[in-house]
Structure 1
Amino acid sequence: MLGAIEAGGTKFVLAVSDDDFNIIERVSIPTTTPVETFKKVFDFFDNYQVSAIGIGSFGPIDVNTSSDTYGYITSTPKTAWENTDFIGLMKDRYPVPMGWTTDVNAAALGELSYGAAKGKTSCLYLTVGTGVGGGAVINGEPLEGYGHPEMGHILVRKHANDSFDGNCPYHSDCLEGLAAGPAIEKRYDKKAQDMTDNKEVWEIEAYYLAQALMSYTLTISPEKIILGGGVMKQTQLFPLIRTEFDKLLNGYVQTPDLNDYIVPPALKDDAGITGCLMLAQRAL
């Protein structure tokens, strides 16, 4: 039996499955303090004998296996979670193999194996919601080095019609500071879902996201780019992003047909938990 934790900044999704990833039970709990949240995590997994657990966590996290703080959530904006020894707490309770990466790397792994990038060897997954985070799988392996990708914090050019200063506490007008859901709402002082028909809102959003996708294409060259998260439920964004991306790239490098290159997640909201179950299997 496999266990999985998709640890998001808003909620944790917990699941157990058989060895073929057929989910036996799945629950969602709010992300509050570590003490409260881990109590609910333990209450769930204490009911099962899992052979391994895969964890995809919000970050930044330490993925460097030679580091003294491997398995920690580190300098997160969620201050209650700073320097939380996630893997240590889990291993104290469940001494089984554990897979550990970012929640977006896990989602990329899920989509590569069972979703929009099935049959490929590489893909990039970008989530655009409360924050902006990106993960990638290259040659079948989650992209990690000294640390892990923080794709939401690259710098982008400001749109000519955008006077918003940015919303990121670290960088102000990085991609997350300009394109995450809270940035859209602060820029216009309205909920994003109330501005579906406001063309300017989504043209500016597409401008920032297309710049980011161009940078990722030129540096990682994934076979597929998958855009998920709450903001991307505004499906009118996809053609706007593809058009802007094409304009910015200007034929410099070849890509697949953009309708098949920049796509929504096929697994929808199950990409992350699917990838976490795969991490558990790999940990075995």
Structure 2
Amino acid sequence: MPGIGRFAGIELGGTKAITILAEGDRIIERHVEPTRDPGTTLTSLRNRIDAWQARTPLDGLGIASFGPLQLDPGKRGFGEMLATPKPRWSGAKVAGILTGGLDCPWRIDTDVNGAALAEYRWGAGQGCTSLCYVTIGTGLGGGLLIEGRPVHGAMHPEIGHLRLRRAEGDAFQGACPFHGDCIEGLVCGPALAKRLGMDPAQAPDDHPGWRHAASDIAELCGAILLTSSAQRILFGGSVATSRPFLLPWVRAQIVEQLGSYLPFLSPDSVEHIVQPAGLGTDAGPMGAIALAQAAATTPSI
């Protein structure tokens, strides 16, 4: 049963990688290191897993990685990185290096699908059947759960690369190397640095660029609600959580834009629908543990 056993999890992010060891749902060991080139990073993570496995056999391993990833086991390159803006990581054999020859069940998914699963089981998504977890930091990603299961299909959701309606008067061209002014290219950390003309952490709260960023995030929330009918949208990541005024602005704009059309959306309900992730910075690592538990107990999530 989930909650019983010895599980290892890897949250492989674009900036840092976290390996955790858990007894059931309780983290007992944690290690953090920078995400460098694929060979150095993946070998270091694998060495940690091998050391834990040698000490006491693991019941499961979960890998929650930045993407995009090939997640179809029937496709060539399963578990590998697809084309990604992160230099040298396109084509990286993430699952192959981390699991090759490892004698325990394992599962790989996106970091945001993993975080969504963790929030569903232990965090602010408890009681929901559908939710979307959105992280805004170095990049922007979204994990989507329907009936408690991460969404997969032709690939996996790439919410960060939606191109949405822009606020009137906003001339910022965006910073995504693939799509320019997709939502990631508008509000992720590096994009905000260009948009605000300074380190976002140093930008004053009254900088007009924050209003445009809030408008973009509200458009993203509207697209998620209209397409997935998610019961909750949970935000994580440094950008989303570092400015307390952002989510109230986003909520107000969502209601203004969609409150007359979506019957479940009102000034009162929106605070429950759009909120910070409940697990904070542990959403990603615990997502990896949720994947490890799923690998140990079920043939598929």
- Report the more deviating stretch, 259-268 or 48-57: 48-57
After TM superposition, the structure 1 stretch with the greater mean CA deviation from structure 2, 85-94 or 208-217, is 85-94
Asked if the contact 1:255/1:261 (under 8 Å) is kept, the reply is: no
Distance 1:88 1:190 in 2: 40
CA distance in 2: counterparts of 1:22 and 1:188, whole angstroms: 40
Q: Kindly indicate whether residue 83 of structure 2 is the aligned counterpart of residue 83 of structure 1.
A: no
TM-fit CA distance, 1:158: 2.1
Partner residue, 1:17: 22
Q: 1:240 aligns with which of 249, 260, 279?
A: 249
Match of 2:82 in 1: 74
Bigger mean CA deviation after superposition, 237-246 or 253-262: 253-262
What secondary structure sits across from 2:108 in the alignment? strand
Q: State the 1:33 CA deviation.
A: 0.8
Which has the larger displacement, 8-17 or 188-197?
A: 188-197
Q: Counterparts in 2 of 1:1-284, with a 5 A limit?
A: 1-18=6-23, 20-49=24-53, 50-232=58-240, 233-255=242-264, 257-284=269-296
Pairwise CA distance, 1:219: 0.6
Shift of 1:201: 2.2
CA contact (8 A) 1:228 1:268 kept: yes
3-state SS of the aligned residue for 2:103?
coil
**Aligned partners of 1:222 and 1:188: how far apart in 2?**
31
- TM-score, normalised with respect to structure 2: 0.91
The unaligned stretches of length 5 or more in structure 1 are none
Q: Are the equivalent residues in 2 in contact too, given 1:3–1:16 (CA < 8 A)?
A: yes
- SS of the residue 1:62 aligns to: coil
Q: Secondary structure at the match of 2:256?
A: helix
1:91 positional shift: 2.2
Amino acid at match of 2:18: V
Secondary structure, aligned partner of 2:247: helix
| Offset at residue 58 of structure 1 (A) | 0.5
RMSD of aligned C-alpha atoms?
1.3
Give a deviation string over 1:75-127, Cα, whole Å, max 9, x none. Answer: 11123111112111122242321111100000101111111111211210011
33-42 or 248-257, which deviates more:
248-257
Alpha-carbon deviations, 1:48-79, whole Å to 9, x = none?
Answer: 12221101110110111210111111111123
Q: 1:200, CA displacement in angstroms?
A: 1.9
Q: What SS is found at the alignment partner of 1:32?
A: coil
CA distance in 2, matches of 1:55, 1:208: 30
Q: Residues of 1 paired with 2:286 and 2:264: CA distance?
A: 27
Note the C-alpha offset of 1:146.
1.4
Rounded Cα–Cα distance in structure 1 between residues aligned with 2:9 and 2:121: 16
Structure 1 residue runs of 4 or more that deviate by more than 4 Å after TM superposition: none
CA contact (8 A) 2:64 2:110 kept: yes
State the number of aligned residues.
283
Compared with structure 1, are the counterparts of its residues 250 and 85 closer, same or farther at alpha carbon in structure 2 (3 Å cutoff)? same
> What secondary structure sits across from 1:80 in the alignment?
coil
DSSP-derived class of the 1:81 partner: coil
% identity of equivalent residues: 36
Q: Is the 8 A contact 1:196 1:234 kept in 2?
A: no
TM-score, length basis structure 1 = 0.96
Please state how far the C-alpha of 1:186 moved relative to its aligned partner: 0.5
Instruction: Give yes or no for contact 1:29–1:40 (8 Å, CA) kept in 2.
Output: no
TM-superposed deviation, 1:43: 2.8
* In structure 2, C-alpha distance between the alignment counterparts of 1:66 and 1:278, rounded to whole Å: 23
